[in-house]
Structure 1
């Protein structure tokens, strides 16, 4: 076999690999961490009605808890992305898990809303940092033709955290005054999968190459090749044995300003818009729907049951994205899903009785979750390796800044204009991201990460760099 000729050649070796045991372990470990991160992130929605009764909280206090949590997620997105590009993917991810588990533990013992605010801030800080890095880690290891599908399976498994939180809330919260503490503490189990990441997942070879650590990258790639039944090259370019041989003077210094310089500026603007609008609609629906249903006259048991049923549809939505995400242009599929979400949200806002709420709510949840893998993959693959985590993380974090004010806005719209107006607003906002991506974003489907990061038009055709056998059935 031929030797190695730099970062692109080493990256192409990862793209040419058949899927093997390494990839399956990678998805399982990352998905398990994401599962309990999603339990943590979504838990408050299913205990909020009970906390409001026990502590006598107003809607504005609940909005403050949600808003401060979003600020924690903002800090996690920025800090996690920066540290992952500066210090390494693996180390940053493991430290982030420790932080969010600490926040989950604090949620179990809080005694008032102000303590809960501090605990939720800490949990969201760590959880968001971990989630940002997990997206990048997965796409940097897997073959190009399976990149979207493996990310989608990770999301599908992780999305099980939503019904776990919901059904635990339904079965526990109404029957024990301390039940909400159990629900908020479920995120602690994420540490089990963090241990598996520590055991199974090495540092990203692409990140090592961007730092000039070619020898370490070569060693890791060879190990992955063997685990996939592929014999590594017999000859290796001399540069692969010299740590730092590909390093430039500034390779260790990641700057935020790089996101605002061409060609990253346009990509960052597109991805940030997608995150801000998509997460606004998604988070508002998941967080506020149980409370709004309760305020509209449904009793607590019916509200929690309906919420649990809606949450159960989430993993199904992610599974439905599996055959789509690597087949068609991700941008256009995202826009099509946005149109379907908008129509369904409008209909959801017009109904009140349990059966229509259940049917339409499940459909909204399913469609929202189907769109999540598209957003996660696209937001990371458009950036070059040295700022991939930073670009994706800061764009994600910007959505949290907007979501700091979003709970107050949603509460104000509900109080002033009513139930239907809230979902009409979410329908309009949910359409923006896909539209911007189609008009201004580069096409990435089917491209290697190196090619996707340099594509500068919206009409770049997919390459045949990755053989069809790498595509999951």
Structure 2
């Protein structure tokens, strides 16, 4: 997913295109892996004799791993640089992806997928930060949104691939999960040879190295001034700085809105075939593909409109629409199948269009010295909600029924809407230094369409 301009310096467009591709494919690995497991879980339940608790744990395993990996990798990335983690974590993803073929029982698969989640968590902490610290402010939001387009695209491709391998080709679930290693290999190759982030170098006082990288890849002094690189200060990072008074509100905002966005999505779509079957939809495979296709379209639309409508408008209204769609499913227990699929399609579209902001806001509102640490922490917080929802959904369906479960998911969206209305800044078109230093309330003005 690339965005370029004819005004860019020679070589800059190609470098940014390759950087965007390498980061987007890394983000897509997460969606691809979770898409595979959502389709494979019913087969696993039979093949490995899983009870609802272990099935829920395996469904939530990657999310549990992200809870550990994201904050740890974020701290390491801010401490030792972006470049190392950017390369190493995708190599771990390859090894663990192929290791899934050799598990003997449910608990072994759970352990492997938790480790896989740690590698995915590292990607959350580094990928978007790496891209944003090179990208121009005029299309930074669109480039970062492209990461989520790849996430939803990866999820959709994985769902179609898994159904084709299991239902049409009769291939074992083991080899379906191993397929996740293929895009990881592509990502690893794409990441060979990238330089260190100039903003991170500047935060460590390494001005000459930062200027040399900008000159070689981005166009020199003009770009250095235009993107406010000179405003970066040599400052220490770490969790004490992240939780300081000047950053606490920023951290709370990104953690809370992110959790409210992903919790209902992961809970519903990790078990999409089970959910649709519980709602008496006869062809759950087709329904699952349709709603995930709407998510991919929603992410694409969100990417194409984010620089025009602004961050706040893309964040707040979708929460209310998602709440309404899920409330219809929860309250109308005898709804026709077409209504159920339509409601989930609307939810998927809006969730994905809004979900682009989980790759944008965390990067824009946190300063360089704690950017990856903060993104990792917020990703971990979001995965607490996602993992809890994913673990509890199959248990909840069994205990209280699908309707009340959908109403709980709708309530989460309402909480997200209220929090976002109060806390969300407007960062569209602003330099990365300004968005990460100005108080959130001073950035609340919604821009006019451009």
TM-score by length of 2: 0.88
Q: Which residue of 2 aligns with 1:5?
A: none
Structure 1: 5+ residue stretches without partners: 1-15, 241-245
Deviation at 1:399, TM superposition (A): 1.9
1:143 and 1:234, CA in 2 relative to 1: closer, same or farther beyond 3 A?
closer
Q: Report the counterpart of residue 194 of structure 1 in structure 2.
A: 188
Matches within 5 A, 1:310-389: 310-349=291-330, 350=332, 353-389=336-372
Distance 2:201 2:165 in 1: 46
Please show how residues 200-239 of structure 1 align to structure 2 within 5 Å: 201-226=194-219, 232=221
CA distance in 2, matches of 1:257, 1:434: 29
| Whole-Å separation in 2 of the counterparts to 1:287 and 1:358 | 16
Matched, 1:269 2:252: yes
In 2, distance between residues paired with 1:157 and 1:234?
Answer: 28
> Quick one: distance in 2 between partners of 1:273 and 1:85?
22
| C-alpha contact 2:201 2:210 (8 A) present in aligned 1 | yes
Residue in 1 aligned with 2:388? 405
Worse-matched range after superposition: 23-32 or 264-273:
23-32
Segment of structure 1 superposing worse, 347-356 or 118-127:
347-356
Match of 1:56, SS state, is: coil
Matched with 1:88 is: 81
Q: 1:421 aligns with which of 404, 408, 411?
A: 404
Q: Which residue of 1 aligns with 2:93?
A: 100
Task: Call closer, same or farther: CA 1:235–1:445 in 2, change over 3 Å.
Answer: closer
2-structure distance, mates of 1:140, 1:376: 13
1:54 aligns with 2:47: yes
Query: Among residues 277, 296, 320, which one is paired with 1:294 in the alignment?
Result: 277
Higher-Rg structure is: 1
- The separation in 2 between residues aligned to 1:315 and 1:143, in whole angstroms, is 25
Q: 1:79 maps to which residue?
A: 72
Q: Per-residue deviation at 1:175?
A: 4.6
2:379 to 366, 376, 396: 396
- Against the structure 1 CA distance between its residues 215 and 330, is the aligned structure 2 distance closer, same or farther, given a 3 Å change threshold? same
Q: Which residue of 2 aligns with 1:7?
A: none
Asked if the contact 2:314–2:353 (Cα under 8 Å) also holds between the matched residues in 1, the reply is no
Deviation at 1:463, TM superposition (A): 12
Q: Secondary structure at the match of 2:271?
A: helix
**Would the aligned equivalents of 2:363 and 2:375 in 1 still touch at CA under 8 Å?**
yes
1:4 is matched with which residue? none
Inter-partner Cα distance in structure 1 for 2:224 and 2:189: 35
Cα distance between partner residues in 1 of 2:157 and 2:179: 9
CA distance in 1, matches of 2:116, 2:208: 37
- Check the 8 A contact 2:302/2:314 in 1, yes or no: no
User: Secondary structure in 1 aligned to 2:180?
Assistant: helix
Alignment of 1:146 onto 2:139: yes
Q: What corresponds to 1:42 in structure 2?
A: 35
Shift in alpha-carbon separation, 1:224–1:183, aligned structure 2, 3 A = same
The aligned residue for residue 3 of structure 2 is none
Matched-pair contact (CA < 8 Å) for 2:214–2:223: no
* C-alpha distance after superposition, 1:161-215 (max 9, x if no partner): 111111112112135664322321222122212221223x321111111111111
SS in 2 for 1:174: helix
Alignment partners' CA distance in 1, 2:133 and 2:105: 43
Matched, 1:112 2:93: no
Q: Would the aligned equivalents of 1:445 and 1:462 in 2 still touch at CA under 8 Å? A: no
For structure 2, the residue ranges without an aligned partner over 5 or more in a row are: 1-6
- Alpha-carbon deviation of 1:425? 1.0
Cα RMSD over matched residues?
A: 2.8
Shift of 1:233: 6.0
Shift of 1:140: 1.3
Q: Please tell me whether the aligned partners of residues 443 and 455 of structure 1 are also in contact (alpha carbons under 8 angstroms).
A: no
Q: Distance in 1 between matches of 2:171 and 2:237?
A: 45
Structure 1 residues 421, 220: closer, same or farther in 2, change over 3 A?
same
The counterpart of 2:115, out of the listed 119, 122, 125, is: 122
| Corresponding position of 1:442 | 425
Relative to structure 1, is the Cα distance of residues 463 and 177 closer, same or farther in structure 2, using a 3 angstrom cutoff?
closer
Tell me, in whole angstroms, the C-alpha distance in 2 between the residues paired with 1:344 and 1:296.
15
**What do the CA deviations read for 1:236-282 (whole angstroms, capped 9, x no partner)?**
9xxx9xxxxx985xx4x532122221110111111111122222112
CA offset digits 1:394-427 (Å, max 9, x no partner):
0110122333432343234322321111111111
**Cα drift, residue 122 of structure 1:** 1.2
Pick which of 443-452 and 63-72 moved more: 63-72
Using the alignment, how far apart are the partners of 1:439 and 1:378 within structure 2?
15
Count of residue correspondences: 433
Taking the aligned partners of 1:357 and 1:460, their CA distance within structure 2 comes to 39
Matched, 1:308 2:309: no
Deviates more, 1:437-446 or 1:378-387: 437-446
Q: Give the stretch that moved more between structures: 116-125 or 408-417.
A: 408-417
TM-score (norm 1): 0.84
Counterpart selection for 2:26 from 29, 33, 37: 33
Gap change, CA 1:233 and 1:56, over 3 Å in 2: closer
